[in-house]
A = this chain, B = another copy of it.
Amino acid sequence: MDTDTALEALAALGHETRLTAFRELVQAGAGGLAVGELRDRLGAPGATLTAHLNTLRSAALVTDEREGRVIRVRANYAQMNALIGYLTENCCAGDESCGPASACKPTKGGKKT
């Protein structure tokens, strides 16, 4: 993931309603949620929710698919994963100084601690 993409994803998640929406979608799993269901859970007006979903979609954090009258929204795990990867690289910057996160590095070099 490049920096611009990470930036967009971070900004998208850095808003209470959007972070909450994303978490709902993650918890909903592969089935995702209908926009209306999400709206009920968040208690946000339709127009407001649409605007936030546009932001999340633009950051590729969610995908949506029309199913008749309903639009089903799903968390894009791959993108979140890529974001975590970006942050992990930018957290540890090649050394092991990140503590717990070093257990997170996928085989970089030899480590023993």
Residues of A within 8 A of B (CB): 3, 6-7, 10-16, 19-20, 22-23, 26-27, 29-30, 77-78, 80-81, 83-85, 87-88, 90-93, 95, 97-101, 103-104, 106
Please judge, given known A-B contacts A3-B19, A19-B10, whether A77 and B104 are in contact too, CB under 8 Å: no
Q: Is the CB of A99 within 8 A of B84?
A: no
In the complex, the count of this chain's copies comes to: 2
Q: Is the CB of A30 within 8 A of B97?
A: yes
Q: Is the CB of A7 within 8 A of B3?
A: no
Give the residue of B26, B83, B93, B100 whose beta carbon is less than 8 angstroms from that of A81: B100
Tell me if A's interface is mostly helix, strand, loop or mixed: helix
Give the residue of B20, B30, B77, B91 whose beta carbon is less than 8 angstroms from that of A99: B77
